[in-house]
Structure 1
């Protein structure tokens, strides 16, 4: 499961394993209640991963916001859920980029579109974000074309500014996307990621929870940074029958299902602090599409010494279990159903969750 890595040490952090020393003033989030993470910001209201989406998430009470990270041709980390920009930007409307539409195999899947690694940052800055779920999220769609694409560095600055204005700690939950793929094309991300963190004072004080669906890069990061008091590592779990991208690339067969056993979670706990599966892996749907009986994942994670977080709660009927949907409109926004669904999972003792609508997540946790 080896992944190529850039070997140069970050000079400002080499003495402490890759990041500058984090002092006793490190920011903290309340641990007496589950944390609410703004999944890509607040994309139920604004196009995902934009300034508007993050500001809305912060305004609505998110404890932390999530920037997903991919790389540009010139090695800059930008904030997109995937490197294919076809569904979330107006790139298809730029004739100057028509010739860059192509097909790539990403983590074993064939994907057609325009990819960040084929564009410089300057070129990406000419694009504008759009809503990927326009039929379901007309409010967000009204903001199509209003926001440019953010870099990771710009996102940290945004969060730092808002934390200072509001007088509260706002965490970052960055996800390193497609690590093995980017390393294979000469754009390894982990040291670039650490360099960005090292260049921002706020990232040395605020909670930073680093996510990945892969294993090798989390182990690499643990070796580089040690255990700073403000940094945790989150092992994401895809659908349980799938194999992590780095494992598959190395010819391995370990599935997320294997990692989700008590023995597997004990192994995860050797390098990560948090285990975060898809919500339906914790309470599966029955044959009728209703929430069924919970699995033992949360209990098993806690026994292994891991925090248990879940992804992703969305406040529209299409994404809710059948028994939580309301009204005849299959695409309708459904606040009552979304809050009720979140509370069903909260009752299992989860330590936090990702939601596309942090205001509803806040209400579910706080009792509003």
Structure 2
């Protein structure tokens, strides 16, 4: 079990940064992810924005979960009255067994409590304290924090598996648009950006009149096929020609960490890839996910000791990315990367 760690003290974020900092699922290095408390802590620690993932419920609401399978991040498996909801389904070609958001109403989801999905690496003392928020609550929180802190607070909103949900009768687009419009979160100047690994989904939102800034997320497996793009792979869409296609639709491209350096997971960082320069040449902002501080997630040359749960040199790692042109750092530990994102005078 990972040791319990106290919550970090609010830092004084630098006035000028070379890169934005986005709190990934909130301050998820310290609190259960995708809770209002985690989002607020991420912003109070100085992040420019926080990131959320949304999936649909049985009655069409959008809730914040990274996976629609709920047992990894909530206490649903301990709720006896939901025992018969356990089932097996195929999502994006992979078979999963568990409890799925689309089989629960929003009222039923409200009964669940969030828990730490990485208990072997992170403390669990906050398990059971927070519920699962719906998108309107999150949009309201963003607005409140922006007003209270008198600064822009961004929201990076990822729509999970839109093809899968459309196929099973739970398309998310209409609810997403309605929630954004109700909160005044639509338009090219909105602080809400929409992200997806599915370029066709972003294209569909554009056709429906959504003008928010968009981010095309890129899988680290360059051979993986992009949904709805006639067999094109993520590798092909991050070549100069592919990035030109992306630029027609999105303002940013968001690869995983291993798509930007040559090092394999668990090895040394390696050398920077061409995508740094190619994204800039295409006029695309370059975002990157996900920077975590625990040794278990760091390249070998940025670890401190052998314990997987020990917090290593995350700031050093982020510095390497920012020096090569990274524009946005998406991180579980926003407070630990600010020195790495200082603008060079």
TM-score (norm 2): 0.91
Matched, 1:213 2:202: no
CA distance in 2, matches of 1:310, 1:119: 32
Match of 1:105, SS state, is strand
The equivalent position to 1:322 in structure 2, one of 300, 304, 315, is 300
How far apart are 1:158 and its partner, in Å?
1.0
Q: Which runs of 5+ in 1 are unaligned?
A: 1-29
Matched, 1:155 2:138: yes
Matched, 1:244 2:226: yes
Matched, 1:222 2:216: no
Match of 2:207, SS state, is helix
CA distance in 2, matches of 1:41, 1:287: 24
1:282/1:298 contact within 8 Å kept: yes
Matched, 1:49 2:34: yes
2:200/2:227 contact within 8 Å kept: no
How far apart are 1:186 and its partner, in Å?
1.4
CA distance in 1, matches of 2:266, 2:202: 37
CA distance in 1, matches of 2:190, 2:246: 24
Q: Which residue of 1 aligns with 2:314?
A: 338
Q: Which residue of 1 aligns with 2:110?
A: 125
Q: Which runs of 5+ in 2 are unaligned?
A: 1-14
1:284/1:292 contact within 8 Å kept: yes
Q: Which residue of 2 aligns with 1:235?
A: 216
Q: Which residue of 2 aligns with 1:73?
A: 58
Q: Which residue of 2 aligns with 1:277?
A: 255
User: Aligned in 2, Cα 1:281/1:287: closer, same or farther, shift over 3 Å?
Assistant: closer
Compute the RMSD of aligned alpha carbons.
1.8
1:218-238: per-residue Cα shift (whole Å, max 9, x none)? 0111223364xxx31100001
How far apart are 1:255 and its partner, in Å?
1.0
CA distance in 1, matches of 2:125, 2:308: 20
CA distance in 2, matches of 1:286, 1:354: 19
2:266/2:300 contact within 8 Å kept: yes
Match of 1:130, SS state, is coil
User: Aligned in 2, Cα 1:202/1:209: closer, same or farther, shift over 3 Å?
Assistant: closer
Match of 2:146, SS state, is helix
Q: Which residue of 2 aligns with 1:112?
A: 97
CA distance in 2, matches of 1:184, 1:344: 41
Matched, 1:146 2:129: yes
How far apart are 1:363 and its partner, in Å?
3.0
User: Aligned in 2, Cα 1:245/1:31: closer, same or farther, shift over 3 Å?
Assistant: farther
CA distance in 2, matches of 1:345, 1:272: 22
The equivalent position to 2:180 in structure 1, one of 177, 186, 197, is 197
2:287/2:326 contact within 8 Å kept: yes
2:185/2:192 contact within 8 Å kept: no
2:255/2:287 contact within 8 Å kept: yes
How far apart are 1:175 and its partner, in Å?
0.4
1:214-267: per-residue Cα shift (whole Å, max 9, x none)? 01110111223364xxx31100001212112445xxxx4221111111111111
CA distance in 2, matches of 1:356, 1:163: 21
User: Aligned in 2, Cα 1:64/1:322: closer, same or farther, shift over 3 Å?
Assistant: same
How far apart are 1:330 and its partner, in Å?
2.4
The equivalent position to 1:184 in structure 2, one of 144, 147, 167, is 167
How far apart are 1:168 and its partner, in Å?
0.9
1:265-295: per-residue Cα shift (whole Å, max 9, x none)? 1111111111110111101215970011111
How far apart are 1:33 and its partner, in Å?
2.9
Q: Give runs of ≥4 in structure 1 deviating > 4 Å.
A: 202-206
CA distance in 2, matches of 1:357, 1:349: 20
Q: Which residue of 1 aligns with 2:289?
A: 311
Match of 1:182, SS state, is helix
TM-score (norm 1): 0.85
CA distance in 2, matches of 1:319, 1:301: 25
How far apart are 1:202 and its partner, in Å?
5.5
Q: Which residue of 2 aligns with 1:89?
A: 74
Count of paired positions: 327
Match of 2:280, SS state, is helix
